[in-house]
């Protein structure tokens, strides 16, 4: 079990020792019987002392004042000031880590506890004001108008030298704005936070809102310490991080050991438009003792050193990215792993965050071969590259421009970036290779025979990945889809030599959360963003692919298959509800920190007044969106057998559907390879040296469902066709 670092331990103890309040009680109400005085000359300065003899003062029930119909004791018109005293008894201040003064007043006040000033407002006279001192400005009482009074929170440890176990006295003086003022109000309340379940005083008034308390969570707690330095956009600064995680279903306390991680990190603000939000997202690296990157396993994820703390500020449901990555993972694609958490930064509670993996080449992330600067020949040159179409505002660098414009009616340039390795790390021959490969794919895509399985686009790309990428972006109606935060990676020749779409990334303003370019509507295709918005840089690739009837039919089949599994409406609703249940209490803390419910945050399409309303909207939007896509999906799903002629090579695949043996018939003279894949791309059957005239494949061991059969020779793909096992 990892230990606290000294600085983080001090931070945690300071933060948590003042936060463990079980409940709140009210020791002093405004309506109690107070000793009070309406002076016409200076009152002895000792009037605030506990031992002051106030027996000559009048007794009256608060509040005190006139003119606002909120007074238990009405004072004469023209009163300049009123002084009040009341005693209360506390058995043990050690059971009270915090206390609160609520003061409703007109027009200024000074409050004292056991002879020491603890709060003042709207009167700047130093020391005790003269009896006829006037308020600095007008201040209207609030409670009688249905609003909350001023509140001051005190930490008991900061006032331990003045607090008494036993008798205590609260004194308040209120001053008017003018001698001819038409109103005056004094209504003090003193509330005590109790650490145990015992009852010592009365219940707080109905309007009282307990202050924010954070000392435990059902989510992991991430604690950051930057030693007082503000986190910049770049470069990364040194900091320390601790993660408290006691396991699924367990509470995590700020006083617990940092058992998931405790050590140095480097951290910076990340994001483009999101960097302007008050709640910042951060990119961080786990570091070793010498300041070098340190691969660690967090939450039992594959070891790495690159992580992200994502702030779901504009996504008030807080789960849009998590939902997207869950779907991508369920489709058989790698997507960033996520963990909901709560963040404390330099002792300040920052709300709900998502701790997640960053996209990069790694066997536990994008599982392609690492491309080293020396990999400039043969198989090593062909992969792996991670590319993206994205903004440059977050530091991106354009590697090359597509020779083809964006989707009509736009004529914008499609700009390609290198993500991993970055452009500056590439050897010129590597850049030339990946640019040439990508452009060759685009050339094939625009050619008249683009549907040809040998000469067309299919020899360049992993078609199932493009279909899944398309369906998730369309289901979520991602206004950033295709044109921003769109990733691709290129496999080595030995891995398949294909361009793969994905991983999925950045869906925080998808799923009905955007109020522009029809992003909040449940109808329409996002591939037509350029047309809907009168311009844009959506690449032409996605519309062109759908012009291939075979591709469109494959899209239709994949959609129908997913609608019976992970895109089943009931399944999706249940998953969303399960996340909302986990977030029920953390969300209340989050929106106490960031009170944005019921207000517009760019680019909200829907503005819910409660967290549950945000969840309900997300579910209803998804239901309507899926119904529209059901009715308007491209292509048709026809699984009947077709005899396909590729380069004059005849293959007959039958029976299809099958529940046992599948035959592949051909007059092709050379040996060829047969592979059978799941719809997620997993290889489940392989014959390396098949030959004419007929080869039998036993599929009896496979679960029922749809698969793809691929026939290849000399690394040339002749056909990829759907088969059904029933």
Lowest mean pLDDT among 375-384, 570-579, 669-678, 693-702: 669-678
Per-residue pLDDT at 17 exceeds 70:
no
The pLDDT assigned to 711 comes to: 82
The pLDDT assigned to 272 comes to: 73
For the chain, residues classed under CATH 2.60.40.1930 are 644-725
pLDDT digits 0-9 by tens, 238-279: 999 999 999 999 999 998 999 999 999 999 999 877 778 999
Per-residue pLDDT at 647 exceeds 60:
no
pLDDT digits 0-9 by tens, 277-300: 999 999 999 999 888 999 999 999
Residues in the chain: 726
Of 234 and 693, more confident: 234
The pLDDT assigned to 667 comes to: 64
Of 265, 216, 219, 259, the C-alpha closest to 239 is: 265
The pLDDT assigned to 666 comes to: 75
Per-residue pLDDT at 501 exceeds 70:
yes
The C-alpha torsion from 24 through 26 and 27 to 29, rounded to 10°, is: 160
Residues forming a β-bridge with 172: 84, 111
Of 202, 193, 207, 123, the C-alpha closest to 153 is: 193
Lowest mean pLDDT among 5-9, 145-149, 394-398, 483-487: 5-9
Give the separation between CA 42 and CA 83, rounded to whole angstroms.
Answer: 11
Per-residue pLDDT at 700 exceeds 90:
no
Give the separation between CA 258 and CA 6, rounded to whole angstroms.
Answer: 12
For the chain, residues classed under CATH 2.60.120.260 are 21-194
Residues 451/545, Cβ–Cβ less than 8 Å: no
pLDDT band for position 714 (50/70/90)? low
Burial of 53 (0-12, 13-18, 19+ CB in 10 A): exposed
Residue identified by tokens 């009048």 is 58
82-106 average pLDDT score: 96
Lowest mean pLDDT among 72-81, 429-438, 572-581, 659-668: 659-668
Of 627, 621, 588, the C-alpha closest to 605 is: 621
Lowest mean pLDDT among 220-229, 604-613, 674-683: 674-683
pLDDT band for position 639 (50/70/90)? low
Per-residue pLDDT at 648 exceeds 60:
no
621-630 average pLDDT score: 98
Tell me the pLDDT of the chain averaged across its residues: 91
The pLDDT assigned to 502 comes to: 97
Of 646 and 149, more confident: 149
E-strand ranges in 491-587 read: 499-501
325-333 average pLDDT score: 95
Collect all residues with Cβ–Cβ distance below 8 Å to 142 and sequence separation of at least 6.
104, 148, 149, 150
The pLDDT assigned to 65 comes to: 96
Alpha helices by DSSP H, 494-548? 529-532, 541-546
Residue identified by tokens 């625009």 is 446
**Superfamily covering domain 21-194:** Galactose-binding domain-like (2.60.120.260)
The pLDDT assigned to 649 comes to: 46
The pLDDT assigned to 182 comes to: 93
The pLDDT assigned to 719 comes to: 67
433-441 average pLDDT score: 97
- Cα–Cα distances in angstroms (integers) from residue 261 to residues 229, 256, 299, 344, 617, in the given order: 21, 12, 10, 15, 36
Per-residue pLDDT at 476 exceeds 80:
yes
The pLDDT assigned to 642 comes to: 41
Of 212 and 321, more confident: 321
Compute CA 474 distance to the chain's CA centroid, rounded to the nearest angstrom: 21
The pLDDT assigned to 718 comes to: 64
Give the separation between CA 556 and CA 562, rounded to whole angstroms.
Answer: 10
Lowest mean pLDDT among 473-482, 488-497, 709-718: 709-718
Radius of gyration of the chain measured on its C-alpha atoms: 34
Give the torsion sign (CA, 129, 133, 137, 140): positive
CATH number assigned to the domain covering 644-725: 2.60.40.1930
Residues 509/315, Cβ–Cβ less than 8 Å: yes
List phi, psi (to 5°) of 544.
-65, -40
């Amino acid at each position: 079990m990892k230990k606290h670092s000294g600085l983080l331990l001090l931070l945690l103890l300071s933060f948590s020792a003042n936060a463990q309040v079980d409940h709140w009680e009210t020791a002093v109400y405004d309506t109690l019987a107070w000793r009070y005085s309406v002076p016409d000359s200076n009152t002895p300065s000792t009037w605030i002392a506990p031992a002051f003899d106030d027996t000559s003062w009048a007794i009256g029930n608060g509040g005190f004042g006139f003119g606002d119909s909120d007074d238990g004791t009405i004072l004469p018109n023209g009163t300049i000031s009123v002084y009040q005293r009341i005693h209360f008894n506390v058995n043990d201040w050690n059971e009270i880590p915090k206390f609160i003064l609520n003061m409703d007043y007109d027009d200024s006040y000074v409050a004292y506890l056991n002879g020491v000033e603890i709060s003042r407002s709207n009167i700047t006279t130093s020391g005790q004001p003269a009896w006829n001192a006037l308020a600095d400005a007008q201040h209207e009482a609030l409670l009688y108008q249905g609003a909350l009074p001023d509140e001051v929170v005190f930490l008991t440890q900061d006032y331990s030298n003045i607090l008494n176990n036993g008798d205590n006295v609260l004194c308040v003086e209120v001053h008017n704005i003018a001698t001819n003022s038409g109103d005056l109000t004094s209504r003090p309340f003193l509330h005590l936070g109790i650490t145990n379940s015992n009852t010592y005083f009365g219940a707080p008034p109905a309007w009282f809102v307990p202050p924010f308390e954070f000392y435990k969570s059902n989510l992991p707690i991430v604690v950051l310490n930057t030693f007082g330095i503000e986190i910049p956009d770049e470069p990364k600064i040194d900091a320390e991080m601790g993660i408290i995680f006691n396991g699924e279903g367990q509470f995590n306390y700020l006083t617990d050991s940092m058992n998931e991680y405790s050590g140095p990190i480097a951290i910076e603000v990340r994001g483009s438009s999101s960097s302007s939000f008050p709640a910042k997202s951060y990119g961080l690296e786990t570091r070793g003792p010498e300041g070098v990157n340190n691969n660690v396993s967090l939450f039992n994820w594959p070891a790495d050193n690159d992580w992200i703390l994502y702030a779901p500020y504009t996504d008030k449901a807080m789960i849009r990215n998590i939902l997207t990555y869950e779907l991508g993972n369920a489709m058989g694609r790698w997507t960033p792993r996520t963990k909901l958490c709560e963040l404390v930064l330099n002792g300040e509670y920052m709300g709900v965050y998502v701790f997640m993996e960053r996209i990069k080449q790694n066997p536990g992330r994008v599982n392609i071969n690492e491309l080293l600067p020396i990999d400039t020949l043969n198989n090593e040159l062909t992969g792996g590259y991670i590319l993206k179409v994205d903004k440059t505002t977050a530091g991106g660098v354009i590697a090359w421009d597509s020779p083809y414009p964006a989707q009509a009616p736009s004529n914008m340039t499609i700009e390609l970036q290198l993500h991993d390795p970055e452009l500056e790390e590439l050897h010129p021959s590597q850049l030339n290779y990946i640019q040439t490969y990508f452009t060759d794919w685009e050339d094939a895509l625009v050619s008249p025979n683009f549907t040809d399985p040998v000469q067309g686009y299919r020899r360049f790309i992993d078609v199932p990945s493009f279909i899944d990428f398309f369906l998730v972006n369309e289901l979520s109606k991602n206004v950033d889809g295709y044109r921003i935060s769109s990733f691709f990676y290129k496999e080595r020749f030995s891995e398949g030599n294909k361009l793969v779409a994905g991983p999925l990334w950045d869906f925080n303003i998808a799923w009905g959360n955007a109020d522009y370019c029809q992003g909040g509507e449940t109808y329409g295709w996002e591939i037509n963003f350029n047309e809907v918005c009168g311009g844009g840089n959506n690449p032409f690739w996605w519309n062109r692919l759908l012009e291939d009837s075979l591709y469109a039919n494959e899209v239709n089949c994949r959609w129908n298959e997913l609608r019976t599994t992970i895109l089943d409406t009931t399944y999706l609703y249940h998953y969303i509800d399960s996340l909302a249940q986990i977030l029920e209490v953390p969300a209340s803390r989050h929106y106490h920190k960031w009170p944005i419910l019921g207000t517009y945050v760019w680019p909200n399409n829907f503005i819910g007044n409660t967290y549950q309303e945000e969840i309900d909207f997300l579910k209803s939007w998804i239901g309507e969106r899926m119904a529209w896509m059901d009715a308007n999906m491209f292509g048709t799903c026809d699984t009947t057998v077709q005899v396909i002629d590729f380069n004059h090579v005849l293959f007959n695949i039958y029976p299809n559907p099958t529940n046992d043996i599948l035959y592949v018939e051909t007059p092709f003279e050379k040996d060829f390879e047969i592979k059978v894949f799941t719809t997620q791309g997993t290889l489940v059957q392989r014959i390396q040296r098949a030959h004419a005239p007929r080869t039998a494949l036993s599929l009896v061991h496979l679960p029922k469902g749809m698969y793809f059969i691929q026939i290849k020779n000399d690394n040339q793909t002749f056909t990829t066709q759907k088969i059904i096992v029933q």
